[in-house]
Structure 1
Amino acid sequence: MSRVVSEKIKDLANYLIEAEKSQKPIDPLTQLKPDLTLDEAYEIQLQVVQEKRSQGLRIVGKKIGLTSRDMQIMYGIDTPDCGHLFENMIVENNHEVSLNDVIQPKIECEIAFVLKKDLQGTNVTVEDVLQATDYVLPSIEIIDSRIKDWKVKLQDTVADNASSGLYVLGDQPVLVDQVNLPDITMKVYQNGQLMKEGIGKNAMEHPAACVAWLANKLAEFGVVLRAGEVILSGALATTIDVEPGDEFTAVFDHLGEVKVSFSK
C-alpha cells in the first residue's frame, strides 16, 4: 500500500525515535501539531516502525490498548488503539527489568493470543480469531511513554506505538477451546499485595473481539496479523505505576501466572 507522508509527519516520527534512543521524554505531539489527526498519528507510528525494521528489528506481534471502558474513561475516549511489538520488547517470565531500559513505566495485565494462521481484515470476527489462534497465555505489558509525564491525548499514544514498552508472557500455553475467555478472572499483586482485579469481558466483552478489531483496523494500513505473532489483547484492569524494586504477579484463572520485577 503506497502512502504519501508529509515532512511534518516524518519530523514528528523522528522526535519519537530520538526520545526513545535518549530515554528523554518529549512534549506531546498534539502540542507540536495541535491539529494532528488520528490517521496522521497512525502514519507517525508506521514511520517509526519502518525505521526500526530498517535497523534490523523484527516485528513479533501487535498490541491493542485502551480496550476496557475504565481505561477509555480515564483518557476521555471511546475507541481502542494499537501498536507493534518488536523482538527487543520481550522479557522472560520471572525476570527483572532494569529501570534504565524504560522511561516512565506502568503495568497492565492481559490475555495474549499466539496465532497459527494469518488474520487479514476487514471483516474478521471473533470466531475467525478463535480459529486462527494457536493458544493463549497470561501476560504483563510494561507500557511506557516517550511523552513527558504521560500527558497524552489519543493521537499522542497512537503515534507513540500505543505507548508500548516491554512485555512478559506466561509459560504454559492453553488452547482456546479449553477456556471461556470472557469469564477468565485475574488478580494482580504488587509486592504481594492485591492491587487490581479484572475479568476477560472487561476487554470489549471478549478478548478475541479486541483481536478482531485489531485485524480490521490495521487493514486500513495494509497490515496483516501473521501466523506466529503474539497479540496482546488489552488490559483487564487499569494501570499500576512502577516504583524501583517493585515485583508484580498476575494470576489468571485457568491460565496460570506471570511475574516481573524491577531493579531498585
Structure 2
Amino acid sequence: MTLTLSHAEIAAAAAALFEAERRRQQTGLLSQQYPQMTLDDAYAVQAALIAHKRAAGLEVIGWKIGLTSRAMQQALNIDTPDSGVLLSDMAFPSGATIPLGRFIQPRIEAEIAFVLNAPLAGADVTRADVLAATDFVAPALEILDTRILRADPVTGVSRKIHDTVSDNAANAGIVLGTARHAPQSIDLRWIGAIVRRDGIVEETGLGAGVLDDPVAGIVWLVRRLAQYGQGVAAGDILLSGSFIRPIEAPPGSCFHADFGPFGHVDLTFAES
C-alpha cells in the first residue's frame, strides 16, 4: 500500500465529502488539492467516508464495481476498474420515485446485480467460486452522484480516478428489478438492456461490455478486497459494472430499463 497523505489529510478529505453530501453542495477536486494522491490514498479516503456513514447509523449492504468498460478506462487513462460500498440508504425498489433534492447531479447506469448466499474472500477466488456463492442475479440500475465537482471551475481540469474512488466510486443508489435468475442458467455476456428516458432510447448495451463477462467483475472485486484482508458477505448485493454510458437524470425524468427476458427496472425522479 502506497500512501502519500497523512492521517489528518485523509480524515479531512473524508469529512469534506461527508459534509458535501449532507449539504447537497459539491466540494473541490481532491486531485487538485493533493496532486500527489495515489489510488491507495483514495481508497483510504473512501474507507474513512464509509466510517462516517456507519457512525451515522447506516449499514453495508454490498459493493459496486465501476469503470469496467474499455471506453471509460481509456477516457480516464487507467487499466483497472474501481469499487465502492453500497449502504442501507441507497436501496430503492423498482418503480420508486426519487424525491427532489435527494441527490446533487444524479445519473443512471444499467447493470447486472449478484446477490450472494455465501461469503467470498481470497486472492485466488475463481469464476466457479463466484457462481457457487451467488443466490441469484437480477437486472438493476445504479444511481450515480458526485459529491466532488466534475471539473474545476477555474482551470477546467476534469476530476480524476482518485476523486471518483474517494467519493465512494460515485455511488449513490441501487434499484433492483423483481426478476430473479440462477447465474448458472444463463450466459450473462449476452444479457442486454434498452434504456429509455422519457420514452426515448438513450443507451443500449450487453453484459459483455463488463470485462467481457460480468462474473469477471466480481472476481476482480474479491481479489482486490483480499489485498486489504477483506471479502464479501452472504446476503451482499454486488453491482458487477455498467454496460452503458451514464445517462443524466434531471428532475422529472422517467427511466425504463428493458432487459428482455431477464426483466426490467423502472425509476422516476420527482420534479417537485
> Is the TM-score greater than 0.5?
yes
Unaligned residue ranges in structure 2 (runs of 5+): 152-157
Q: CA 1:74 to 1:241, structure 2 compared with 1: closer, same or farther past 3 Å?
A: farther
2:113 — aligned with what? Answer: 112
Distance 1:220 1:13 in 2: 22
1:197 — aligned with what? Answer: 204
1:64 — aligned with what? Answer: 65
Distance 1:121 1:5 in 2: 29
Distance 2:110 2:72 in 1: 13
Distance 2:269 2:75 in 1: 25
Instruction: Using the aligned pairs only, state the percent identity.
Output: 39
2:219 — aligned with what? Answer: 212
Distance 2:167 2:230 in 1: 17
Q: Deviations over 1:89-122 (max 9, x none)?
A: 0111101112311001111110000001101021
Q: Tell whether 2:104 aligns with 1:97.
A: no
Distance 1:125 1:44 in 2: 29
- Following superposition, which runs of at least 4 residues in structure 1 exceed 4 angstroms of deviation? none
1:121 — aligned with what? Answer: 122
Displacement after TM superposition at 1:227 (Å): 0.5
Amino acid at match of 1:189: R
SS at 1:221 equivalent: coil
Distance 2:138 2:34 in 1: 39
- Cα RMSD between the aligned structures? 1.5
Q: Tell whether 2:235 aligns with 1:234.
A: no
1:177 counterpart (184, 203, 216): 184
How many residue pairs are counted as aligned between the two chains? 262
SS at 2:108 equivalent: strand
Unaligned residue ranges in structure 1 (runs of 5+): none
Displacement after TM superposition at 1:224 (Å): 1.2
* Bigger mean CA offset, 156-165 vs 90-99: 90-99
Q: Deviations over 1:151-180 (max 9, x none)?
A: 420000001000001110001211112211
Amino acid at match of 1:39: D
Asked whether the equivalents of residues 64 and 81 of structure 1 are also in contact (C-alpha less than 8 Å), the reply is yes
Distance 2:23 2:220 in 1: 33
Displacement after TM superposition at 1:5 (Å): 6.1
Give the TM-score normalised by the residue count of structure 2: 0.93
Q: Tell whether 2:88 aligns with 1:87.
A: yes
1:263 — aligned with what? Answer: 270
Give the TM-score normalised by the residue count of structure 1: 0.96
Q: Deviations over 1:14-58 (max 9, x none)?
A: 111111111110111011111111000000000111121122211
2:45 — aligned with what? Answer: 44
